[in-house]
């Protein structure tokens, strides 16, 4: 790389982690291996580490990392099999971003589903109600007309 460019890169501070859970990745991974639920992990992080994170945040974090790792592994395997595909063809960062986007779409669908008003049964949309316990009431006006 050009020396000037390298100097610029070296002068920049390291990029802050994408998630506040990044420093706890190892802990979270181990907790998952030990069968802890996302809810439990969120509780442990809050109480023991002072990190406030919701169940969905923990879930997202784990899933995105898992998918990114899976894709990176697949990319490496592909590179090994095909000499025409360079190892850097599917960068880890791109795979991570794609996985994050997919995950985001799933959560958007979940939120949309939650917000959707349930379709009520036709019978529930009553436009007419009849109380069988009450006798038929003649309308006074029409009775007088007769």
Partner 1 sequence: MNSTSTKHFEPKTAPGAKQTTETAPRKRVILSMGGKGGVGKTNVMTGLAEWYQEHQIPVTLLDLDTENKARGSLTHFFGGQVPKINIHSPEGLDAFLDYLDSGPPIILADMGGGAGRVTHTWFDEMYAPVARRGIVFTAVGVITADPASVESVLAWADRLQQRVAYLIVENQADEHANFTYWRESAQARAFQEAFQPAVMQMAYRLPHLETAMRNHGVTLTEVVQRRTSVAELQLSKAVIRAEGYRERMFGQFETVKELLLP
Residues lying near partner 1 in the complex (CB under 8 A) are found at 121-123, 125-130, 132, 134-139, 142-143, 146
d(CA 96, CA 59): 15
d(CA 37, CA 56): 11
Residue 11 or residue 137: which is nearer to partner 1 going by CB?
Answer: 137
Name the minimum Å distance from CB 114 to partner 1. Answer: 23
Name the minimum Å distance from CB 112 to partner 1. Answer: 22
Residue 34 or residue 143: which is nearer to partner 1 going by CB?
Answer: 143
Name the minimum Å distance from CB 109 to partner 1. Answer: 24
What burial class does residue 97 get, using C-beta atoms within 10 Å of its C-beta: 0-12 exposed, 13-18 middle, 19+ buried? middle
User: CB neighbours of 50 closer than 8 A, spacing ≥ 6?
Assistant: none
């Amino acid at each position: 790389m050009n020396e000037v460019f390298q100097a610029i890169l070296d002068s920049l501070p390291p990029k802050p982690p994408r998630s506040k859970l990044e420093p706890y990745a190892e802990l979270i991974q181990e907790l998952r291996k030990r069968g802890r639920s996302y809810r439990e992990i969120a509780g442990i992080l809050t109480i023991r580490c002072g990190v406030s994170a919701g169940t969905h945040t923990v879930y997202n974090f784990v899933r995105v990392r898992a998918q990114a790792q899976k894709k990176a592994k697949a990319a490496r395997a592909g590179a090994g099999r095909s000499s025409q595909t360079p190892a850097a063809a599917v960068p880890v960062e791109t795979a991570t971003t794609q996985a994050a986007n997919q995950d985001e779409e799933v959560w958007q669908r979940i939120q949309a589903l939650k917000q959707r008003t349930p379709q009520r049964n036709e019978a529930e949309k009553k436009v007419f109600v009849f109380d069988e316990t009450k006798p038929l009431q003649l309308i006074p006006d029409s009775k007088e007309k007769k």
